[in-house]
A and B are shown apart, each in its own frame.
Chain A
């Protein structure tokens, strides 16, 4: 290995991913607010003809935030955390640099094409796997490129020990590769349609019926696990200790929680299919594994909170620490809420109600969103070599978004439980007390509140985008890289 005295970490790919993460965040979250408003005020569905309907926009929202915003944040932070903890620079290998750049451009083109094709109505109709087969092929290519870059970087490392964050990123890469390919096994219909008219974009899944449901939710829940959870834990294990200047409270606990999570998560997907046609033992196993998941999840979350032991005053002085600590707290909240919902008797009320999107959003807005924004904020002074533009703007953003999240999940908790109870209510003759429209009328105020909460979060995100843009273009130039706390202008 050459001497590393003159080499520097190369952040060109990190900057590209940072830009894309923010762009797709704005698109995905704006669409989210629109569809929340449509649920509260259905006449808004008629504004753009077929292109503005809920059915077209909802996949755009979920794919935009999951695969555009979140995956962009994950891969972008990997190229940052990976280089630093492995003590190697991408600039040392022209090959890996090329792979990383291809990784970015193919990802970027795929998500842009996803926005266009989903908007045009091309969809496999499988939840969180709506992208049609040509896009699936593209996803596989850039996912493999990410893997080549990741394992190439690991192969070139100077540091023998591999930090726990990298383990989490690796698990994310491996699991998503497996899940994505198996759930998206599909046959393009034009290959077999003969003379019958068939769109080149259309495909049919290789699975059907209960098998399809099983594979779909094995995939669906583990998309939560390996997109919304493990890589985000990888982020917090790097960015929180680094920003606070504290050692991880217990490295041993981080390792234990890692293996716990790996073992248990893949079995929990069955909880999406409780009271369905899948075998009863499978439902029971999904439910049991979901409860066990509390252990490793809380292991990581408590480890993060205790990392701040003796340094809690930083919570008052640094908005960045605030974002990360609240993210960890929301992780605790959603990882106790999920297992509760997976208990069969609770699920009987919760299933198909608004409590489910409530649960998803306290995880995604509070945990995933906060952690990605905090990571990008932490990286900004290092990748642009400039001071963060405005601390007060960051603080305001924090409070607006926190209020937004609280409005979102509390309204959905109340709406969901109300809905579940009304669907089950019957009179002394066994007849249902309420029709579906009765529930819709009762839920209207909560739907409106959800849209307000989502709007707050989006406003905060736009403030974040502005703060990042101003940091990159007008922040005070730093003469040396900050060691821990990120410098920010008041």
Chain B
């Protein structure tokens, strides 16, 4: 294969790799947004894990213990 063909393939490869990852990223972003909007999961409440982190405060989501 000559150099020019190789460069062309590499160029297309680069474009499609970036396109694929963009699609993947935005699909994941959309799924998070949708779950948040429909109330399936409230992501923002997890910030409290930092602000309320003393050992004697109640856990945000208590773990089931046997």
Contact = CB atoms under 8 A, between A and B. Distances in A.
A284 B44 contact: no
A289 B46 contact: no
Contacts of B10: 280-281, 284
Interface string A232-253: 0000011001100101101110
Given A160-B61, A161-B60, A288-B17, A242 B51 contact: yes
Contacts of B29: 256
Contact of A247 (B28, B36, B44, B53): B44
Interface string A119-146: 0000000000000000000000000000
Interface in A214-239: 237-238
B21 A251 contact: no
A267 to B, nearest CB: 9
Contacts of A260: 25, 28
Interface stretch (A41-49, A84-92, A360-368): A84-92
Interface in B5-30: 6, 9-10, 13-14, 17-18, 21-22, 24-25, 28-29
B38 interface: no
Interface stretch (A5-13, A32-40, A200-208): A5-13
Interface string B25-66: 100110011001000000111111111011111011111110
Given A163-B46, A163-B50, A252 B63 contact: no
B19 to A, nearest CB: 10
The B interface is mostly helix, strand or loop, or mixed, namely helix
Nearest to A291: B18
B6, B28, B29: most-surrounded residue (chain A CB, <10 A): B29
A281 B10 CA distance: 6
Contacts of A84: 53, 55
B18 A292 contact: yes
B18 A251 contact: no
Interface in A278-293: 280-281, 284-285, 287-289, 291-292
Contacts of A163: 46, 49-50
B64 to A, nearest CB: 8
B33 A4 contact: no
B47 A247 contact: yes
Contacts of A164: 46
Nearest to B29: A256
A251 B13 contact: no
A295 interface: yes
Contact of B50 (A5, A9, A158, A241): A241
A87 B50 CA distance: 10
A161 B46 contact: yes
Given A242-B50, A284-B14, A256 B32 contact: yes
B10 to A, nearest CB: 4
14 contacts: A85-B53, A89-B55, A160-B61, A161-B46, A164-B46, A241-B51, A247-B48, A248-B50, A251-B45, A256-B25, A259-B28, A263-B24, A288-B14, A289-B17
Interface of A: 1, 4-5, 7-9, 84-85, 87, 89, 157-161, 163-165, 237-238, 241-242, 245, 247-248, 250-252, 255-256, 259-260, 263-264, 280-281, 284-285, 287-289, 291-292, 295, 481, 484
